[in-house]
Structure 1
Amino acid sequence: MNRTLKRVLGLTGSVMLGLAGAVTFASAAQAHHVTYSGVPECTDDGWIVKWEATDWEGKPAEVGKGYVVDYVANGELTGDLAVPDAELPEFGSSTPLTGTQVLSLDDETATLSLNGRWDNGQTNQGTPVTVSQPEGGCEGEPADPEPVTAVGSEVDCVGIWVWAENQNPEALEEFTFVSSDGEEVSGTPEVGDIFSHYFLLDEATDALSVEVYAGEELLDTIEWTSNELCSYVSVEADCEGLIFTLTVPADGEAATFELWTSLSEEPITVELAPGESETHTFKAEGDEELWVDYYIETQKDATYGGVQWIPCDEETPSPSETPSAQPQLPTTGSSMTIMIGSAAALIVAAAAIFLIMRRRRAAQDW
């Protein structure tokens, strides 16, 4: 008996981002970014920004050590960050690379961009990060601590995962996420923690947006966009397991597929040229739940997802001879289907895919 499963791979991987804890959210195996943030403070005759930098999470043994090659900043930058080829600590290090940017009262903002390189030859041009003077400015009485926040998101075939974090322990901000279909969640994470939520696309409208607020201030509006690569995967389920069909359209790009299951440690890697197709069957072991997560990559793009298999039960209806058409994902011709699973299972799958995607995604940036 075949059933089409629908599942949301919700990137609720707050555990994974708790490990990352950086504003920048990786070549095909392991690529790094310089990740850094700054906190402003007033001085007697101006103000400063104290910066901390580390290497984005990855496998240094494969990529090699990272270094800050140079920087671009207004004002004067001192400390280890200003030293050419300063070695980057690994992400999560208790002793990050530090520097102090000195500014005058005429400077309303401080901007810093750190450029990095790694032993394997990879380079990364840092994205400028801007920090404003402490709230109220630095003239007169010291101002109250100002919140320092970071917001990010990931869009997959059926929804948006949104996250936010506080970076100033003296001024924690409450975040509120509001979706276009009325769903609303709020939270105030401690420094080092992540507040996140996954919003499922409304298939009736094929549209979704999420507004991110810090207090009453609108920080960002994130729009869902479709990805053509979603149509490269279709999934069916029977009482024995999951059947994956991988297809590259004749007018599509050659693609590499990687499939992981909850019952094995090594992925299955498949490379298909335009017009080629392969089918892979994953059988469950007894009544144990089965997960299959996947990653698709072409020269120009990449996406990811996952499907959960649930054992058949006595209440499962008998299959009809002419089953009705199953709903399609809101992408261009997509035939992949997904199932809404339990929250705990979603977190496990999201964490695995999140780590894989993050390490691969920056290949598009190098």
Structure 2
Amino acid sequence: MNSTLKRVLGVTGSVALGIAGALTFASAAQAHHVEIVGTATCADDGWTVTWETTDWDSQNVGAGVIETITSNGELSGDIVEGAELPHPSTGDKLIGTQALGFDETVASIQIDAVWPNGHTGTGVAELPQPEGGCDEPVDPAPVVDVGASSDCFGLEILVTNQDAERTVEIGLQDSQNEYGDWYYYEVAPGDTLTEYFANDPELGDLAVAVTVDGEDHGTFEWDGGTNCEWGYVTDTCEGLDLELTIPEDGLETTYTFNPSNSDEETVVTVAPGGTEPVSFAAGDDEEFSVDYIIDDGKSFYEDTLTWTKPADCEEVPTESESPSAAPTLPTTGSSMTIMISAAAALVLAAAVLFMIARRRKAAGNW
């Protein structure tokens, strides 16, 4: 039994010696090698590793010289082929910076060196991205204020670039554009883009889609506007009779009229819920016009009413010795409401004279 134990112990002892011998041989073979230490840092365009390298020389045979360098990223700095490796005792280091993209998760470097005694050595190092990784920065969304305002005839889009540094691209698409075209505008920091889209009731509901730097920023719909009834006009043989009317929920509105056959300007202010009559006589003219402005304090509109003497207006004959029934002067036309809305505009487009065709910039805030 004792002899068996000795034989087992003898085999085990031989294995232990073999491992020790291998470790000793490896240490001797690595008497010259390159020491490499790295530090990883995230950057705006990826991440970087700062490598520090020195000469590990246990035999004091002189400085090692770098022969070749292999890395998976662009390397800059002191770590170059032909550079001498400083000994740690000097406190000096060769420093190089390796730049990598966000898609590279591990940085690697291999430095091969040769020493004056002909021995060679290699240093290899790998380093992952900093803890938590490095994410590609995302540009913050531009600071843009987009608004819309409806009036009686269309939709106004206002875009203010509140970003202090960036110019933004604004895209606008009008739903009533039969080709579906987009229109693009560059808006500098602090500037405001104002675009007006007139509504055509025959082309369906008006809506304008908005993009900011290619990203959807909503769609704004025309709501028909408010305070879009301003009264009635009657086209008679004597001229134009107007009944200015503002609904209860409307705004106090000032009407300014300038007839072509008179130098006298007529100004009428109508309160919400009120009605005021105004007439303009043709006199001896066969035709005349009246320029007008409607101002409700929020926005104003201007256009022209035109009058042409109707063909069926007969003159009253002079009195004769034989009395006869005096004919009456017929009136032509009818009371027409000044309503600009999707439905009313279609019905009245051919007949309404007193309608607003042009829009002017708002006088107040939307």
TM-score normalised by length of structure 2: 0.40
Q: Which structure is larger by alpha-carbon Rg, 1 or 2?
A: 2
**Which has the bigger relative contact order, CA under 8 A and spacing at least 6?**
1
